[in-house]
Structure 1
């Protein structure tokens, strides 16, 4: 398998991870902190708005089962791409949206998707796009949080989770 990865920030990483891991073709997820300026940040530090990190999901996927274009389509269904530093009720710089790539070859697909999404909005998109500068896995209790805590907080609607479970890449 020729596994690929992309890093997606979309508000609270608990719900975003749970949503993305439902998709056929996603082979692994890790929640963590991306593109900040503090070494080995903790959740408490990231929540201060002083570290520059975004709550982010590292998404590993099989491109034979789900392409980056489809993965990004699903990502954009789960976020408000015009909202600055806020998704749902969660507010702060750590909740900003972003697409961070580890392979520059992904840029044409990302740029095309950004252009496509921008056409649907009157307001400018607030989604950061750029290379992954750094990524630190979050503490263990954050990994697979909604699997371990089915009644835990999630800013994403249940209908979106159900759609992801039913989704099959064709």
Structure 2
């Protein structure tokens, strides 16, 4: 069975992780950091905005069940790709909207995904397609955050349920059966 990987940044990784974990064909979602200049950054360092990293998610998926294009469509529909270095109250380059293609095919698909999504937004999409970069997994307590601590966190309770509602409304056929 073939597995592929996608890396997206769309604000707080707790919030994007919760969305993608709900999709059929997604086998794992790992929160982490990418696109910066400091080796092995910590959450505190990334949150300072000084490392250049984005909070991101690394998705392992089965392309026979869900395609990279489908993941891109979900990405653009469940965060605001039109705000530069910001998602809601989260401000800074660490919250930027970005795609980190792992090969030329993903890079081409990312460009096409931006074009496809643009019609759904009244202002230009500013999502960056970034060059290859080293992935650093976030600390253990960030992984599967929504399923654990997140449902007791007021920030997550304000941000994640509306994202999940958008997902259910626009991509019901892509949701896990379980």
Q: TM-score, normalised by structure 2?
A: 0.87
CA contact (8 A) 1:3 1:62 kept: yes
Question: Aligned pair count?
Answer: 170
| Segment drifting more, 52-61 vs 123-132 | 123-132
State whether structure 2 residue 2 is matched by structure 1 residue 2: yes
| Structure with greater helix share of residues | 2
Q: Which residue of 2 aligns with 1:151?
A: 152
Q: Which residue of 1 aligns with 2:172?
A: 167
Inter-partner Cα distance in structure 1 for 2:84 and 2:139: 25
Inter-partner Cα distance in structure 2 for 1:156 and 1:80: 12
**Mapping of 1:101-140 within 5 angstroms?**
101-140=101-140
Instruction: Check 1:139–1:48 CA distance in 2 against 1; reply closer, same or farther (3 A cut).
Output: same
Q: CA deviation at 1:49?
A: 1.1
Inter-partner Cα distance in structure 1 for 2:20 and 2:36: 23
Inter-partner Cα distance in structure 2 for 1:159 and 1:11: 14
Inter-partner Cα distance in structure 2 for 1:102 and 1:44: 27
Q: Which residue of 1 aligns with 2:25?
A: 25
Inter-partner Cα distance in structure 2 for 1:74 and 1:161: 11
CA contact (8 A) 1:23 1:168 kept: no
Structure 1 segments (4+ residues) deviating >6 Å? none
CA contact (8 A) 1:10 1:79 kept: yes
Q: Which residue of 2 aligns with 1:86?
A: 86
Inter-partner Cα distance in structure 1 for 2:121 and 2:77: 13
Q: CA deviation at 1:146?
A: 1.1
Gaps of 5+ in 2: none
Inter-partner Cα distance in structure 2 for 1:81 and 1:28: 23
Give the CA RMSD over aligned residues. Answer: 1.9
Gaps of 5+ in 1: none
CA contact (8 A) 1:34 1:132 kept: no
Q: TM-score, normalised by structure 1?
A: 0.91
